[in-house]
Amino acid sequence: MRGENLALGATGLAAFLALGEAVPRLGLVKEAYFPPTSRIAGALGDELADSAFWTALGDTLTGWAIGLAIAVGAGIAAGVLLSVVPHLRAATASTIEFLRPIPSVALIPLAVLLYGTELRSVLLLVVYASFWQILVQVLYGVQDVDPVAEETARSYGLGTWARVRHVLWPTALPYVMTGVRLAAAVALILAVTAELVIGAPGLGARIAVAQTSQAVPEMYALIVVTGVLGLLINVGARTVERRALAWHQSVRGEVAV
Amino acid sequence: MTHVPLVKGRSMHALLDVSGLRKVYEGSGRRVEAVRDLTFTVDEGELVCLVGPSGCGKTTLLKCMGGLLAPTSGAVLLEGKRVTGPPPGMAFVFQEYGRSLFPWKRVGENVELPLRQKGLDRARRRELVADALASVGLADAAGAYPWQLSGGMQQRVAIARALAYEPRVLLMDEPFAAVDAQTRADLEDLVRGLWRERGITILFVTHDIDEAVYLGERVLVLSASPTVVQEQLTVDLPRERDQLHTRVAPRFAELRTHVYEQIQAAKRGPAQEGPARLRDEPRDEPLRKVTGAGS
């Protein structure tokens, strides 16, 4: 089954690439705006040979990773704090519901005002977008604590901190993992967006340069790179999830007893 | 005619002393009196079964005793000290073993966690975990996850966790209600065996009359909610009990019938004489009471 799925997936991708090659060649779309697959592949090869590309990739990944790390740390800390301190959650709920839907890109003018084209501009947008993903998942996860598990912990004299560590945190972990996976994807989108719009160094800025200099195949090649990056990030996040949650029902599946 | 000895005038220095316990739940405009007035004692080393009709507040009572719930009025004393939070000398075994064991920890870690909280050193913890798992017959299971075990084995792990904690009192809340009949019989014998070997005081809550009579040295029959003690009786079966012979003994049948009648009476309403405060009565009264129809 697995091999069959893999073969089907490969066939689908090959067909898609072939279509990308054929459509411009047949003149169905203008080749100037939509170069055939082979030219994009050629441009990608050139990019990979260019050290400036690797610097840009490094900048994007730096912004992504630092931003995501800050968002995960802050989101978890805030989520646990809001849940553990009585009444805090109720007091902050309306504020969170107000702040959360603000699109991160709406903060671009603010970021430019504060930090110009520095890395910190990117971080502001990345952190703002991914923080809510984590926070909301942590809040849900913490609510999921089983009252029996909680009572067991209390009956064995586990204090607040021990209960957070041994009951609340493992219960919330599957939710946190989902939050991290979502946040990792959002963080990449925002990192590239910030570079593209603000001009902070990175793949986004490189895409903008390719566009303004009419280097259309290069532009597509860079877009492909961002797509592959997103794919790898998702696969990586899922692997981490499976390892960390080996005990969880969603991962372990049915166990024959 | 059935003779059932009633328990009266217990010693002044009970290990557990429940007096005038009352618990009223209030919330969303509803006021539910789960437990009205419970008074009884449990002596050191006793195995007492609490049995009552379903929904009679047995779990509420046990949680109040374990310090997990604050009573509305009345008090629970453990060794003369008022219980205000979970006391270190008590361990709890819940009915829902699947939710009470932590699925993210291995069996050994589950048993060890409370010991770490107690601040015991590593060698002592290891010793206690191994000993507790061995005495429930799961010496090899330390490295498994709870969800890899059968229901009966999971409840054994929960019992091992309680044993390793070295409690003075073991509170068991319908621990075998969710396992199949054969496993249940094994677990009942396990509990009696552990009680005899280790001399722990056990308070065992059940809705199963046969289980209460088979296990207990004393049975407290609770009334329907709002709960009072309907009756207390001593189970004068031999200490050596086994599933095959004890359960068909005439005495077992008599006791079981008596408890059954009491439960039926309890369902109809609280005991007419009001809450049983038997321990306050003079000690020299005759310890026998004649019940049952006929003759």
In which region does residue B123 sit, left (phi positive, over 0), alpha (psi from -120 to 50) or beta (all else)? alpha
- Reported ipTM: the value is 0.81
B64, B117, B170: best mutation site toward chain A, by most A Cβ within 10 Å?
B117
Residue B220: both structure tokens together: 């407290």
Which residue, B209, B213, B87, B110, is CA-closest to B159?
Answer: B110
Residue A255 and residue B92: Cβ atoms within 8 Å? Answer: no
Q: Identify the residue whose tokens are 């992504």.
A: A64
**A158 near B CB under 8 A:** yes
> Residue A7: which residues within 8 A CB-CB, separation 6 or more?
none
Confidence of residue A91 (pLDDT cuts 50, 70, 90): very high
CB-based contact B270:B223 (threshold 8 Å) = yes
Which residue, A104, A136, A138, is CA-closest to A123?
Answer: A104
Q: Identify the residue whose tokens are 């990308």.
A: A20
Q: Please report, for the domain that includes residue A79, its CATH number.
A: 1.10.3720.10
- Which residue of B102, B148, B165 is in closest CB contact with A255? B148
Question: What residue type is B264 in one-letter code?
Answer: Q
**Would you say residue A30 lies in a domain?**
no
* Overall average pLDDT of the B287-291 stretch: 39
Q: Identify the residue whose tokens are 């008599």.
A: B254
pLDDT at A54 over 80: yes
Q: Where are the alpha helices (DSSP H) in B22-180?
A: 58-65, 97-100, 107-118, 122-135, 151-164
pLDDT at B290 over 60: no
Residue A134: both structure tokens together: 């984590």
* Overall average pLDDT of the A38-47 stretch: 93
DSSP string, B220-244: EEE-SSSEEEEEEEE--S-SS--TT
Whole-number mean pLDDT of chain A?
91
Confidence of residue B57 (pLDDT cuts 50, 70, 90): confident
Confidence of residue B13 (pLDDT cuts 50, 70, 90): low
**A253 near B CB under 8 A:** no
pLDDT at B286 over 50: no
Chain B residues within 8 A of A159 when measuring between CB atoms = 117
A 10 A CB-CB count for A14 gives 10
Chain A residues within 8 A of B114 when measuring between CB atoms = 156-158
From the centroid of its chain, how far is CA B172?
5
pLDDT in tens, B140-195: 999 999 999 998 999 999 999 999 999 999 999 999 988 888 889 999 999 999 99
* Overall average pLDDT of the A114-125 stretch: 92
**Would you say residue A46 lies in a domain?**
no
Q: What percent of chain A has pLDDT over 90?
A: 75
pLDDT in tens, B86-144: 998 899 999 998 899 999 999 999 999 999 988 899 999 999 999 999 999 999 999 99
Q: Identify the residue whose tokens are 């009966």.
A: B152
**Would you say residue A37 lies in a domain?**
no
> Residue B2: which residues within 8 A CB-CB, separation 6 or more?
B254, B257, B258, B290, B291, B292
Total count of domains within chain A: 1
Residue of A nearest to B151 (CA): A257
**Would you say residue A183 lies in a domain?**
yes
Query: CA–CA separation, B157 vs B142, rounded Å?
Result: 9
pLDDT in tens, A166-180: 999 999 999 999 999
Highest mean pLDDT among A212-221, B18-27, B222-231: A212-221
Query: In this structure, what is the dihedral angle of CA atoms A209, A210, A212, A214, given to the nearest 10 degrees?
Result: 160
Residue B100 and residue A149: Cβ atoms within 8 Å? Answer: yes
Q: Among A56-65, A150-159, B240-249, whose mean pLDDT is lowest?
A: B240-249
**Would you say residue A71 lies in a domain?**
yes
Q: Is the backbone peptide bond immediately before B226 cis, with ω within 30 degrees of 0?
A: yes
pLDDT value at residue B3: 59
Q: Where are the alpha helices (DSSP H) in A144-215?
A: 147-155, 160-163, 169-198, 203-212
**Would you say residue A146 lies in a domain?**
yes
pLDDT value at residue B267: 77
pLDDT value at residue B269: 61
**Would you say residue A36 lies in a domain?**
no
- Which residue of A149, A151, A255 is in closest CB contact with B147? A255
Beta-bridged to residue B47, according to DSSP, are B202
pLDDT at A189 over 90: yes
Residue B68 and residue A170: Cβ atoms within 8 Å? Answer: no
Query: In this structure, what is the dihedral angle of CA atoms B80, A149, B174, B81, given to the nearest 10 degrees?
Result: 0
Domain containing A116 equals 51-256
Strands of the sheet with B47-51, listed across from one edge: B81-82, B73-78, B16-27, B30-42, B227-234, B218-222, B47-51, B201-206, B169-173, B90-93
Residue A158 and residue B117: Cβ atoms within 8 Å? Answer: yes
Confidence of residue A29 (pLDDT cuts 50, 70, 90): confident
pLDDT in tens, B240-283: 888 888 888 899 999 999 999 888 887 776 544 444 444 333 33
Confidence of residue B6 (pLDDT cuts 50, 70, 90): low
pLDDT value at residue B280: 39
**Would you say residue A233 lies in a domain?**
yes
